[in-house]
Structure 1
Amino acid sequence: MNAPASRTGTIAPLDVLRQYPAHDFTLTGFLAARVAAHPDKPALLFEGETWSYRELEGRIAQAARWLAQAMHVRRGDRVGVLSANHPSTVVLMFALARIGATMVPANPEYRLDEALYVFQHAQVCGLVCAPATLETGAAIARALGGAVWLRANEPGDHGVPTLEQSMAAATGQFAGESVDDGGERDTALIIYTSGTTGFPKGAMHSHRGYVLTAEAFVGRLQLQPDERVMCVMPLFHINALMYSVGGALACGGCLVLVRKFSASSFWRFAAETGATEVNLVAAAGSILARRPRAEFVPGHRITKMFIAPQTQEMVRVMKHEFHVPRLIECYGMTEIPGVIANPFDGPHKLGTMGLISPHPDPAVPAPQARIVDDEGNDVAPGGEGELLIRTPTLMQGYYRDPAQTEAAFRDGWFATGDLVRQDEDGYYVFVARKKDVIRRKGENVSGAELDRIFGEHPAVEEAAAIGVPAELGEEEILLAVQFRPGQTADAAELLAWARGRLAVHKLPRYIATVEAIPHTPTHKPAKHKLKGDRTLLARAVDLSAASQ
C-alpha cells in the first residue's frame, strides 16, 4: 500500500497531458491512451488491493462484453448503481461507456421512494447494488415490472449473483468479441440533482464533457503523473466521478478509493496509502479541523486539497497544524463541472469562488461567465446578479425533462440560479441562492421536496424549508410548519414520520411552528420572508441530537 518515497519535479499541466497519445474524447480512448503509455503503473487502490492500468482495462473490457452479450445492454441503455464507493462503480462506468450506454448512480442512503423515482425516471434496464442496498434494489426491480436485472457488487449472504460471478461465468463465452460502440457525444453519466420543483433532475454528461473536465482538473490542481488522488467523496457526485476518478486517470496517477469519509481514520489512511491530493466538502474539512490531534499522522504526503467553502480557521489548521500547503477554493454545479476556482499558484482569496478555470490546452475554449439582472442585462462592475455560464463541459440537458432543460437556459447560457458579484480583482464572490436549494454537507437538498413531503403529514397545513447557517460551513435545514386548525404534532414526531420517506441528509435539524406560512403573489412560500425572521431560528426546536 505504500507509495514511492519521493515525488518527481513539477510538470506543467499541458505537458502532463501530452505525455499520453492523442485520443478521441471517449472514455474508452481516454483510458486507452494511459494504458498504452504505462500499462503496469498502479491505477486504482482499494482496501489493500492495487490494480494496474492494464488490469483495470482488462476488467472493464470483460465487464463490457458481459453487459453487451449476456445482459443485452445496448447503446443508449441505462444501468443504475446504488452503493457506497467501490471499484465496481468505476469499472461499470467505463464498461457502459464502451458500449455507448449510460451509468446512473444514486445515493445509497435514499429511501425506497426516492431511489424508485430516480431509477424509474431514468428507465434503467439493470441495477448494481451493494449488499446493504440490495433490499431496496430488489423492491425497485419488482416495482418496475421485473424487466430490470439485479446484481450485487460484493459477495454476501444475500443470494444475489455478484458482478464478478456473472462475468466469470461468461468469460469464455464472449472472449475476443468487440463491443466498442461509444462515441464522444454519447451520454456517459446521468447524475440526479435536487430540483426546485421538488423532484430530482437528471443532468446528462457526454464522454467529451467528462474527458475535458477530467483533463481540466489536472490544471486546476496541477496534478502530476505520480499523483495519488484520495477519493472520499461519494461516487454518485460529479466531484468524485469527474475530479477524483477522472483527474487521477487524466494525469496518469493512482486513484486511492475509500468506501466513505471517516474523520477518525482519515490521516492514518492517507499516510498508509501515500495519498497526495484529496477533495472535500466544507463540512468534512471543518470536522477534521476539530478532531482530536491524536488522530493526526505527521507522515502523510497530502500537499493539496480541493475544498469549498473555506473558513479562516479551517485554512489555519490545515496549513499550520496538518501541514497541507495548498487549499484550493472553488465553485461548481452538477450541470457545469470545472468552471471557476482559485488559481493554483494564487493569489488565493479566501471566501471567493475564484476565477474562470480553463482547460490546460489553449485550443479548448475556456468557460465564459456573465452576471445579469432579472431582465437578463449585464450588471455594472461590482454589482450583484445571477451567474450565467457557457462551458465545453456543460451538461447535455436534463433527461426526459425538456421543460426544465429549456428553463435552465437563457439564449444559450446556463442560468445557475446563484447570485454573485465580482470583486476589484475579478474574483467571483457568492452572495446567495436564487433557487430553492439548500446546500447541506456537500449535498443539494430541494426545499420544494421537503415542503411537499412534510406537507403530506395529516396534521400539517403547510411546510416550508429554508437554509440557515451551519457551524461546519454551508447550511442546516430549518422547517417552518403551519398546522391544521385544531391539530398539532411535536418536532420529534414530525422527524420520526419523515425518516421513512427521506434520506438522512434531507431531514431538518430545526423545526419551528408558525401561525401562517407567508406567500408570494403566486401563492408560493415566501421563503425570503422566513429567512428574514430573526426570531425563527431562536424559537425552533433543535433536533440534532435526535437525528444522529
Structure 2
Amino acid sequence: MSDRSPPERSPLETLSFFPPHDGTLWAFLESRQGPDPDRPFLIFNDVATSWRQFQGAVEQTVRMLRGRGVERGDRVAAMAANCADYVVLFFALARIGAILVPVNPDFGAGEAGYILAHAGVSGVVCAPASLPVVRRAAADEGLAVWFLVFGAAVDDVPGFSEVPDNAPPRAAPAAGTADDICLIMYTSGTTGFPKGVTHSQGNFVMAGEAFVERMHLQTQDRLLCILPLFHINGLFYSLGGAVAAGATLILAPRFSASGFWPLVSRSRATEVNIIAAIGTILARRPREEFVPGHGLVKVYGAPVTAEIAEVFIRDFGVHHVIEGYGMTEIPGACNLPFDGERRIGSMGVAARHPDPAVRFSELRVADDEGRDLPPGQVGELLVRTPIVMKGYYRDPDQTRAAFRDGWFLTGDLVRRDADGYHYFVARRKDIIRRRGENISGAELDRVVGAHPDVAQAAAIGVASDLGEEDILVAVVLKDGSRLTARDLQKWCATSLSSVKCPRYVAFLDALPQTPTFRVAKFKLKQDPDLRARAVDLTLLDEEG
C-alpha cells in the first residue's frame, strides 16, 4: 500500500495549495516550487531531479536554444523515446514562446519528413539512433535545419546540454503567453496525411489541472509515465497532472511488460496511465512477475475492459481504476467519476475541473443534422471544452470542418444512458486504433495499393485479442500476379512503422463499392468470415 502520511486534499485544495500563476508553462512550473523546492519532481532511470534543479536545467536550455537562434513562434521537433531532457526541452521552448513538434521515433524518413516539412521546423533534437533517419528526412524534403542529439555528442552533432559560445549569459525573461501555441502534435486523419493539432500553453495547464480532478492527485503522489511523450496522454495527463499537483513524475523510457511491476515497486509509484493493449498484456502475464506490497493505488486507462478492471482490482490490489475518453484535439473530454459510480464499459460522464466555477467539458449526442438524441439512441459525440485544440496547423479547411457551431465533431458514435454515462459504439472516421495509435486507413490503402501487383487495397480495423484493433488489409491483385502475403509483409515493412504494418492480409476477387464507386469498408467490417479467410502474418513470422 501507499506510504503517504499527509491527509488527502480535495482536488481544489491541491491546486489552491500553490500560488496563482498566469497560465504559461514557466509560471506553472515556478508556482509549484512550494515550501520544499528540493523535493523530487522528475525521476528517470532512477536519477531524481528536484524542482529547483529542473528549473535550472530549463534556464540553461533556454540559453542553448537562444544561441541556436530559436525565437518566439519557431518550431523545433523532438524524435526520441521518453527521457528527462525531452521534458526540459518542452518547458524551455515554451518559455521562449516557441513550439514543440513531437515525432514518433519509430517513424521512417518518409513519415518523419512529412511532419518536419509541414511544421516548418528550424531544428530537430533526436535520439542518437534516430539521427540517420532525421538527416535523410530533412535531405529528402530539402530542409535546412540544425540537429542536436539527446545525451552526448555524436560525430559532428552536438549533445543536448552543450551550450554554444554565442549563447546569452543568462536566460532571457519568459516570452510565452498562455494563448501562445506550445505544441503541434500530428495525428492521422481520414485523408491519409497526418494533421497537426495545435495546443496553447493555457490548454496544457488546464488539462493538467483537470487530471488532478480526474484522479484526485495529491502533492505526495508519484505518477509513473510508461506512455510516450509524443502522445497526448503521456504529455498532458502524466506530465501535466504531475506539475499541476506539485507531485513527482517517474518517467520510463518505454513500457516493459516483464519489468512493469518491479518498476512500480522500486519507484514507489502511486498512479499510472495505460491503454487497453497494456492493460490486457499485464492482465495475462505470468503472475510470478507481479510484486506484492507495491504502492500503486490508481490507474487511468482508455479504454478499460471488464477483464482489465477485474484483474487490477482483484489480483493486483489497485482500488481505483478509472476509464476516460479524449482525443488529441480534445484531451480528457469525459471519464468515470473518481468519487462516484464507476460503470465498467462506460467512457464516463462529462469531465470536470477542480474549480466548480470553471465551465469545463460539455457533451452532446447528435444525429447527422446536429439534432440532440434522447438517451439510448446512437449518434455522434460532440464536445465543447475550453481545452479544445486551437486548430489544425496550416489547414483552415479541416479546422472548419471539425466544428459545428462551436462544438467539436469527434466522428465517434456513442450512446448515452439516462444518468449521463456514455458508451462507445463505433468510429465514423476511417481510423484504426492500434496500441494507442490512431492509424489512417487511407494511408495504408495508398501504401499497399502502390505495390505494382496490387489493383486495389482497403485497410480496416478488426477486433484484437489485446483490446483495441488489429489491421486487416483486403487486397485485389492484378491479373496474372503471384504476389504472396509474405511479399506484402516485406513491402509494408519498408514503408511503414511497425505499428502500422497489417497483421492480416485477405486476397479477394473484388472489393465492395458504394453507389459512388468508393470502397465500402463498412461492408468489409460486416463480413463475419473475412478474418478467418485472411492470412495471419504473425503465424508466418513464427514459421520463419
**Shorter-chain TM-score range:** over 0.9
Match of residue 63 from structure 2: 65
Closer, same or farther: CA 103–547 of 1 in aligned 2, 3 Å: farther
**What CA distance in whole angstroms lies between the structure 2 residues aligned with 1:494 and 1:4?**
50
Match of residue 102 from structure 1: 99
Q: CA deviation at 1:155?
A: 2.3
In the alignment of these two chains, the number of paired residues is 542
Match of residue 133 from structure 1: 130
Q: CA deviation at 1:106?
A: 1.1
Is 1:118 the equivalent of 2:115? yes
**What CA distance in whole angstroms lies between the structure 1 residues aligned with 2:322 and 2:16?**
24
The match for 1:153 among 150, 153, 159 is 150
* Contact 1:194-1:201 at 8 Å conserved across structures: yes
Q: CA deviation at 1:64?
A: 1.1
1:399-548 mapped onto 2 (5 Å cutoff): 399-546=393-540
**What CA distance in whole angstroms lies between the structure 2 residues aligned with 1:311 and 1:430?**
12
The match for 1:395 among 383, 389, 398 is 389
1:364-383 mapped onto 2 (5 Å cutoff): 364-383=358-377
Deviations 1:301-338 (A, max 9, x none): 01010012222222221111111111101111000001
**What CA distance in whole angstroms lies between the structure 1 residues aligned with 2:143 and 2:203?**
33
SS of corresponding position for 1:35: coil
SS of corresponding position for 1:534: coil
TM-score, length basis structure 1: 0.96
Is 1:356 the equivalent of 2:356? no
Q: Which consecutive aligned stretches of 4+ in structure 1 deviate over 3 angstroms post-superposition?
A: 3-7, 143-146, 156-159, 545-548
Is 1:55 the equivalent of 2:49? no
Q: CA deviation at 1:160?
A: 2.2
* Contact 1:463-1:480 at 8 Å conserved across structures: yes
* Contact 2:366-2:380 at 8 Å conserved across structures: yes
Match of residue 26 from structure 2: 28
Is 1:319 the equivalent of 2:316? no
Q: CA deviation at 1:489?
A: 1.0
**What CA distance in whole angstroms lies between the structure 1 residues aligned with 2:430 and 2:407?**
20
SS of corresponding position for 2:48: strand
SS of corresponding position for 1:500: helix
* Contact 1:512-1:536 at 8 Å conserved across structures: yes
**What CA distance in whole angstroms lies between the structure 2 residues aligned with 1:545 and 1:72?**
51
| Aligned AA (1:73) | V
**What CA distance in whole angstroms lies between the structure 2 residues aligned with 1:162 and 1:246?**
26
**What CA distance in whole angstroms lies between the structure 1 residues aligned with 2:213 and 2:236?**
14
The match for 2:183 among 172, 183, 189 is 189
Q: CA deviation at 1:523?
A: 2.6
TM-score, length basis structure 2: 0.97
**What CA distance in whole angstroms lies between the structure 1 residues aligned with 2:78 and 2:178?**
22
Match of residue 194 from structure 2: 200
**What CA distance in whole angstroms lies between the structure 2 residues aligned with 1:148 and 1:36?**
39
SS of corresponding position for 1:544: helix
**What CA distance in whole angstroms lies between the structure 1 residues aligned with 2:318 and 2:539?**
33
| Aligned AA (1:41) | R
Closer, same or farther: CA 488–401 of 1 in aligned 2, 3 Å: farther
Moved more, 200-209 or 131-140: 131-140
**What CA distance in whole angstroms lies between the structure 1 residues aligned with 2:520 and 2:370?**
23
Closer, same or farther: CA 367–381 of 1 in aligned 2, 3 Å: same
Is 1:237 the equivalent of 2:234? no
Moved more, 481-490 or 439-448: 481-490
**What CA distance in whole angstroms lies between the structure 1 residues aligned with 2:88 and 2:152?**
17
Q: CA deviation at 1:35?
A: 2.0
Closer, same or farther: CA 25–138 of 1 in aligned 2, 3 Å: same
Q: CA deviation at 1:36?
A: 4.8
Closer, same or farther: CA 340–137 of 1 in aligned 2, 3 Å: same
Moved more, 520-529 or 151-160: 151-160
Moved more, 5-14 or 444-453: 5-14
| Aligned AA (1:353) | M
Match of residue 250 from structure 1: 244
Q: CA deviation at 1:38?
A: 3.2
**What CA distance in whole angstroms lies between the structure 2 residues aligned with 1:233 and 1:523?**
40
Q: CA deviation at 1:367?
A: 1.1
Q: Structure 1 regions of 5+ residues with no counterpart? A: none
Closer, same or farther: CA 532–5 of 1 in aligned 2, 3 Å: closer
The match for 1:15 among 8, 13, 20 is 13
Q: CA deviation at 1:371?
A: 1.0
* Contact 2:116-2:138 at 8 Å conserved across structures: no
* Contact 2:2-2:297 at 8 Å conserved across structures: no
| Aligned AA (1:412) | G
* Contact 2:2-2:270 at 8 Å conserved across structures: no
**What CA distance in whole angstroms lies between the structure 2 residues aligned with 1:162 and 1:469?**
43
Q: CA deviation at 1:57?
A: 0.6
Q: CA deviation at 1:426?
A: 1.4
Closer, same or farther: CA 173–388 of 1 in aligned 2, 3 Å: closer
Q: Percent identity over the alignment?
A: 50
**What CA distance in whole angstroms lies between the structure 1 residues aligned with 2:412 and 2:171?**
48
Q: Structure 2 regions of 5+ residues with no counterpart? A: none
Q: CA deviation at 1:146?
A: 5.3
Match of residue 76 from structure 1: 73
**What CA distance in whole angstroms lies between the structure 2 residues aligned with 1:225 and 1:118?**
37
* Contact 1:122-1:399 at 8 Å conserved across structures: yes
**What CA distance in whole angstroms lies between the structure 2 residues aligned with 1:342 and 1:139?**
45
